[in-house]
C-alpha cells in the first residue's frame, strides 16, 4: 500500500465497489459470515470453515464466490448469522446457522436460486429491527473490519478529509457543539464543550484519548464497534486531534476484549500505511499518531483521571478535579478523553453536518444511543435508537418482551452506577435528564431486563459487591462505605436483616454520594437507592418475614415443593445434579433435604414457581 | 557478607527455582528494552507474565531494579490490577463471567457449584493443578450469557448440568 492524498478516497471507493460487484467480476454469489466475539462463541468460525469444505464437496470453486467476514450484525440472540447475495438480488440474512443449515442454504439458495424461507432473518419484518436507526452501527455487518478500503467505500475518512481541507479547528469544535452530542460514556457532558476547553488550553503538546475500557458489566456496545468498525473510532480521534491541536492519541482498551485489541492493531497499522496517521496526513501538513494501550483489569480505570494514571504506568487512582484534564491531563498536558461511541459519531457529524445530527433525538439529548439489551428478554442484542425512544418500546417491541411466560420486574439501566426501574417508569424517554430523574443514569448503555425470578435486594448486593471490589481504596467514603453497605445487604439476603437496616442503608448511601472522590464512588449507591425507592416491599419481606419473594436468596429458600402449584412435569427431577428429587409420572416431586446441596438448579428449572 | 548482598543471593535462588533460564532471559530482555521509557511498567508486567505465568515478589524486585523503579511502585501496580498474578495457576484457567447479564441468567449458582465440585475457591487452584477458577468482570458476551471460558475456549449459555461435560475436555 502507498500513502494516499486528497482525492484518492473517491478512487478507492470506486475500486472497491467495482471489485465487490458480482456480475462484472463473474462471481456467482456473495456469502458473508458475521463474526464478532458472540458470533464466534456461537459457532460462526465453524460455519466459516465448513463453508469452504462444503463448496469443495459440491465441486464449486471458491473463486467463483465473493466470500467475506464482517463483525456482528447486532442481533446476538440469533448468532451465527450469514448473508447470501445472488447477482441482481437483494442480500438475504440467515439466522442461527450451523454447518448442517449452511448446507441447506447452499443447496437451496446459492446453488438452487430459491430463498430458504424457514431460516431467513428479515430486517424489514423482524420486530427487532423496527424503530432502530443506525448511525454508530451504520457499517454493522457490511464491512470487513480488517479492510480499510471497505470502510472508505462507505464514505470512511471523508469526515477527516473535510475537517482537514475545508474546516478550521474552531469550525470543527463549533460543528460538534451545534450537533448537541453529549458524552456517551455515561455522564453526558457536551462533547463540543470539552473540545472547546482543550482547544483554548495553552500548551505545545496535547493529547486525544479514547476510552475503550468498557467496564460496566452488561454493556458491550463499544466492543462491537471496535470489532466491526474500528476505523470510525480512529477517524473520530483524528478529527478531535485536529480540533484541539494534538499530535498524539492513545486508545485505552480493556484486556478482556482480545478480538477488539487485535482488530484495532490491524486498523491502526492499515491507516498508518495509507498515511491517514503519521506525518502530513492526506498531504495537508497535519500530523497525528495513535497508539494502543491495553488495560490490566481495573474497573475504576474507566474514570478519566484514573485512566490517565494507568496510561502513565501507575495504579489507576482517580484524583480530584480541578484541574480538569482539558487543562492538565495526561502527563499534565491538556487532554481530551472521549468514549468509543462518542468518537464513532464524530465522522458522521462532520460529514453530514451538525444540523442533520441535531435533527435526530429529543430535547437536550441529540442523536442516537446504542444499548446492549440483555437479560430476561426475548431478543437479545445491540439496539441503536434515536434518543427519546421510550424505554418500553426497547424492552417490549424491539426486545420482544419477557420469555418463558414470566413477568417483567425491572429494567437495570446504566450499569453499577445506574438504577433498577419498575414497569411504571418505562414510559420515560431515553433522555439523560429523564432517566436521571427516574433514579437511574443513561450510563454507557447497558440495559438488563429482569423478570420475577430476580431478587432486587440480591441485585443491589451484586452491584455493591462489584463496587466495593473495584473501589480503588483512595477515599474513605467509597472504600469503607461500600464495604459497610455490602455487609448490611449480605445480612439481609441471609435472613438476618434488622428493621433499622433500611434507614441505615439510605443514610450511608447519601453520605457516599455526597463525599466520594470520583464518579465511581458517587454513583455506587444508586442501585441501592433505586431498589429501596421502587422495591421497598422486597426489602421488607426479607427483613420482616424472612422471605425472598423471588426465591433467589439461598438462605431464605426452604426447598419444598408446593403440591398445589406442581404440575408433575419432572423438570426439577431432571435438573437436580445430586439426585435429591424423587418424581414419578403423575406424582408431585419431592425433595430430600438430606441429599440436597442447595444448588438452585431445581428452582431455575421449574416453570411454575412451585419450589419455595 | 553485607546484608544487601545476602538478600540479592536469596532473590536469585528463589527465582531460579521458580523459572528456567530462558524465562528469566526473556524477562531481562523486556526490561532492557523498556528501561527509562515513561509509562512502561504495565506493558512490561504483561509481557513478562506472558512468559513466566505469574509475578512473585522476587521477580517484582528484579523488575523494579531493571526499570529503575521502587519495589513499592511495582508491587502497588501488581496488586492493583486483576490481570497480574503472584501465584502460579493450574493447567486450565476457568474464567467465570460475573457480569450482570450472566448473573441474572444464573452464573451465581454456577460458580458456587463449580467451586464446591472442584473443591476450589474462586481465585484458587485445584490440588492436582488441573484447574484454576477466576471470576472475571463482564467479558462483553452478554448476548450468550451465562458465559465461561476455559483457556481460549468460550462456552455459551452454560448451566450447572453442562459443567461436567465441559470440564472433561480439559486434562
- Could you report the per-residue pLDDT of A405-416, keeping only the tens digit for each? 899 999 999 999
β-partners of residue A420 are: A412
Record: contact B101-A217, CB cut-off 8 A: yes
The pair phi, psi for residue A499, each rounded to 5°, is: -55, -35
Which of chain B's residues have a Cβ under 8 Å away from the Cβ of A40?
154
B1: pLDDT confidence band, cut at 50, 70 and 90?
very low
Residues B8 and B76 both lie in one domain: yes
Which of chain A's residues have a Cβ under 8 Å away from the Cβ of B49?
none
Q: Among A53-67, A80-94, B149-163, whose mean pLDDT is lowest?
A: B149-163
Residues B100 and B154 both lie in one domain: yes
User: B86 lies in a domain?
Assistant: no
**Interatomic CA distance for residues A392 and A401, integer angstroms:** 9
Q: Does A37 touch chain B (CB under 8 A)?
A: yes
SS3 A606: coil
User: B141 lies in a domain?
Assistant: yes
Largest CA distance in chain B: 62
**Interatomic CA distance for residues A414 and A426, integer angstroms:** 14
User: B85 lies in a domain?
Assistant: no
Residues B11 and B61 both lie in one domain: yes
- Residue B133: DSSP 8-state: E
**Interatomic CA distance for residues A188 and A421, integer angstroms:** 20
Record: contact B137-A294, CB cut-off 8 A: no
Q: Among A483-487, A501-505, B69-73, B103-107, whose mean pLDDT is lowest?
A: B103-107
Looking at residue B113, its pLDDT comes to 86
Domains of chain A: 18-122 (3.40.30.10), 156-358 (3.40.50.11540), 362-451 (3.10.20.600), 456-545 (1.20.1440.230), 557-612 (3.30.70.20)
End-to-end CA distance of chain A: 66
Which of B11, B46, B80 is the C-terminal boundary of a domain? B80
B139 or A272, which is more confident?
A: A272
Which of chain A's residues have a Cβ under 8 Å away from the Cβ of B109?
599-601, 604
Residues B75 and B103 both lie in one domain: no
Q: Among partner residues A293, A376, A599, which is closest to B160 by beta-carbon distance?
A: A599
Residues B104 and B164 both lie in one domain: yes
CATH number for position B105: 3.40.30.10
Largest CA distance in chain A: 82
Cell of A131: 424503530
Task: Look up the pTM and report it.
Answer: 0.93
Looking at residue B9, its pLDDT comes to 52
Q: Does A310 touch chain B (CB under 8 A)?
A: yes
Mean confidence (pLDDT) of chain A: 95
Record: contact B160-A601, CB cut-off 8 A: yes
Gyration radius from chain B CA atoms: 19
Helix axes A230-244, A221-228, angle to 10 degrees: 100
Q: Which long-range contacts (CB under 8 A, 24 or more apart) does A485-490 make?
A: A485/A509, A485/A512, A485/A525, A485/A528, A486/A461, A489/A457, A489/A460, A489/A461, A489/A464, A489/A528, A490/A461
Record: contact B39-A448, CB cut-off 8 A: no
Record: contact A41-B142, CB cut-off 8 A: no
Residues B76 and B7 both lie in one domain: yes
Q: How far is B148 from chain A (nearest CA, A)?
A: 11
Tell me how many domains chain B contains.
Answer: 2
Please count the residues of chain B: 171
pLDDT tens for A229-267 read: 999 999 999 999 999 999 999 999 999 898 899 999 999
Residues B161 and B96 both lie in one domain: yes
**Interatomic CA distance for residues A229 and B57, integer angstroms:** 41
pLDDT tens for A21-47 read: 999 999 999 999 999 888 888 899 999
Please give the residue range of the domain that contains residue B8.
3-80
Q: Among A48-52, A124-128, A498-502, whose mean pLDDT is lowest?
A: A124-128
Residues B74 and B101 both lie in one domain: no
Q: Are B144 and A31 in contact (CB under 8 A)?
A: no
User: B126 lies in a domain?
Assistant: yes
Which of B37, B52, B80 is the C-terminal boundary of a domain? B80
Which of B24, B59, B80 is the C-terminal boundary of a domain? B80
User: B87 lies in a domain?
Assistant: no
**Interatomic CA distance for residues A172 and A241, integer angstroms:** 10
pLDDT cut 90: percent of chain A above it: 89
Looking at residue B4, its pLDDT comes to 47
DSSP per-residue string spanning A573-597: HHH-TT--EE--TTS--EE-TTT--
Measured between CA atoms, the residue of chain B closest to residue A453 is B104
Amino acid at each position: 500500500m502507498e500513502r494516499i492524498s486528497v482525492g484518492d478516497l473517491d478512487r478507492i471507493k470506486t475500486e472497491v465497489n467495482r471489485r465487490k460487484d458480482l456480475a462484472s467480476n463473474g462471481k456467482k454469489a456473495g456469502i458473508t459470515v458475521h463474526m464478532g466475539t458472540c458470533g464466534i462463541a456461537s459457532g460462526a468460525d465453524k460455519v466459516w470453515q465448513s463453508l469452504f469444505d462444503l463448496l469443495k464437496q459440491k465441486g464449486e470453486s471458491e473463486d467463483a464466490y465473493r466470500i467475506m467476514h464482517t463483525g456482528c450484525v447486532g442481533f446476538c440472540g440469533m448468532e451465527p448469522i450469514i448473508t447470501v447475495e445472488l447477482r441482481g438480488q437483494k442480500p438475504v440474512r440467515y439466522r442461527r446457522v450451523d454447518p448442517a443449515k449452511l448446507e441447506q442454504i447452499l443447496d437451496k439458495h446459492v446453488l438452487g436460486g430459491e430463498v430458504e424461507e424457514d431460516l431467513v432473518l428479515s430486517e424489514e419484518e423482524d420486530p427487532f429491527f423496527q424503530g432502530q436507526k443506525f448511525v454508530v452501527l451504520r457499517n454493522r455487518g457490511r464491512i470487513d473490519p480488517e479492510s480499510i478500503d471497505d470502510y472508505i467505500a462507505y464514505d470512511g475518512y471523508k469526515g477527516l478529509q473535510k475537517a482537514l481541507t475545508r474546516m478550521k479547528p474552531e469550525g470543527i469544535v463549533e460543528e460538534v457543539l451545534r450537533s448537541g452530542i453529549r458524552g456517551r460514556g455515561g455522564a453526558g457532558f457536551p462533547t463540543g464543550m470539552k473540545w472547546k476547553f482543550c482547544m483554548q488550553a495553552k500548551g505545545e503538546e496535547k493529547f486525544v484519548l479514547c476510552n475503550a475500557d468498557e467496564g460496566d458489566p452488561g454493556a458491550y456496545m463499544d466492543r462491537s464497534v471496535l470489532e466491526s468498525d474500528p476505523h470510525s473510532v480512529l477517524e473520530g480521534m483524528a478529527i478531535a486531534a485536529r480540533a484541539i491541536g494534538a499530535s498524539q492519541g492513545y486508545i485505552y482498551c480493556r484486556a478482556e476484549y482480545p478480538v477488539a485489541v487485535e482488530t484495532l492493531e490491524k486498523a491502526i497499522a492499515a491507516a498508518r500505511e495509507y498515511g491517514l496517521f503519521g506525518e502530513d496526513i492526506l498531504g495537508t501538513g497535519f500530523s497525528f499518531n495513535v497508539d494502543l494501550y491495553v488495560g490490566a483489569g481495573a474497573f475504576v480505570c474507566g474514570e478519566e483521571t484514573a485512566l490517565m494514571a494507568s496510561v502513565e504506568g501507575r495504579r489507576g487512582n482517580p484524583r480530584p478535579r480541578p484541574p480538569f484534564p482539558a487543562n492538565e491531563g495526561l502527563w499534565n498536558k491538556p487532554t481530551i478523553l472521549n468514549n468509543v461511541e462518542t468518537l464513532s459519531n464524530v465522522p458522521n457529524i462532520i460529514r453530514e453536518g451538525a444540523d442533520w445530527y441535531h435533527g435526530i433525538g429529543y430535547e437536550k439529548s441529540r442523536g442516537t444511543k446504542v444499548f446492549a439489551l440483555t437479560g430476561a428478554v426475548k431478543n437479545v442484542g445491540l439496539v441503536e435508537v434515536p434518543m427519546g425512544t421510550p424505554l418500553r418500546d426497547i424492552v417490549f417491541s424491539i426486545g420482544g418482551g419477557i420469555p418463558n411466560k414470566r413477568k417483567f420486574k425491572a429494567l437495570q439501566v446504566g450499569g453499577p452506577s445506574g438504577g433498577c426501574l419498575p414497569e411504571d417508569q418505562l414510559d420515560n424517554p431515553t433522555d439523560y435528564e429523564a432517566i436521571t430523574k427516574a433514579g437511574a443514569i443513561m450510563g454507557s448503555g447497558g440495559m438488563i431486563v429482569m423478570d420475577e425470578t430476580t431478587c432486587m435486594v440480591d441485585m443491589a448486593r451484586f452491584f455493591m459487591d462489584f463496587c466495593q471490589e473495584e473501589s480503588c481504596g483512595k477515599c474513605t467514603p467509597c472504600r469503607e462505605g461500600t464495604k459497610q453497605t455490602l455487609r448490611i445487604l449480605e445480612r439481609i439476603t441471609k435472613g438476618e436483616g434488622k428493621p433499622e437496616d433500611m434507614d441505615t442503608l439510605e443514610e450511608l448511601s447519601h453520605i457516599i454520594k455526597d463525599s466520594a472522590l470520583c464518579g465511581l464512588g458517587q454513583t455506587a449507591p444508586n442501585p441501592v437507592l433505586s431498589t429501596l425507592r421502587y422495591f421497598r416491599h422486597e426489602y421488607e419481606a426479607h427483613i420482616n418475614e424472612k422471605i425472598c419473594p423471588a426465591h433467589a436468596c439461598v438462605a431464605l429458600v426452604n426447598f419444598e415443593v408446593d403440591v398445589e402449584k406442581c404440575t408433575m412435569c419432572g423438570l426439577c427431577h431432571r435438573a437436580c445434579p445430586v439426585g435429591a428429587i424423587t418424581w414419578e409420572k403423575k406424582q408431585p416431586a419431592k425433595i430430600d433435604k438430606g441429599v440436597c446441596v442447595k444448588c438452585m438448579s431445581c428452582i431455575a428449572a421449574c416453570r411454575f414457581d412451585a419450589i419455595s | 557478607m553485607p546484608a544487601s548482598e545476602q538478600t540479592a543471593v536469596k532473590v536469585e535462588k528463589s527465582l531460579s527455582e521458580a523459572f528456567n533460564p530462558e524465562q528469566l532471559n526473556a524477562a531481562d530482555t523486556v526490561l532492557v528494552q523498556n528501561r527509562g521509557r515513561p509509562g512502561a511498567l504495565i506493558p512490561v508486567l504483561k509481557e513478562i507474565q506472558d512468559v513466566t505465568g505469574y509475578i512473585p515478589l522476587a521477580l517484582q524486585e528484579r523488575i523494579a531494579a531493571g526499570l529503575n523503579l521502587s519495589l513499592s511502585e511495582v508491587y502497588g501496580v501488581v496488586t492493583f490490577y486483576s490481570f497480574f498474578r503472584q501465584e502460579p495457576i493450574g493447567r486450565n484457567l476457568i474464567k467465570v463471567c460475573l457480569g450482570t447479564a450472566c448473573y441474572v441468567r444464573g452464573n451465581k449458582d454456577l460458580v458456587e457449584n463449580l467451586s464446591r465440585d472442584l473443591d476450589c475457591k474462586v481465585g484458587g487452584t485445584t490440588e492436582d493443578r488441573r484447574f484454576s477458577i477466576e471470576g472475571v468482570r463482564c467479558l462483553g458476551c452478554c448476548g450468550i450469557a451465562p458465559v465461561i471460558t476455559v483457556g481460549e475456549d468460550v462456552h455459551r449459555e452454560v448451566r450447572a448440568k453442562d459443567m461436567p461435560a465441559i470440564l472433561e475436555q480439559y486434562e
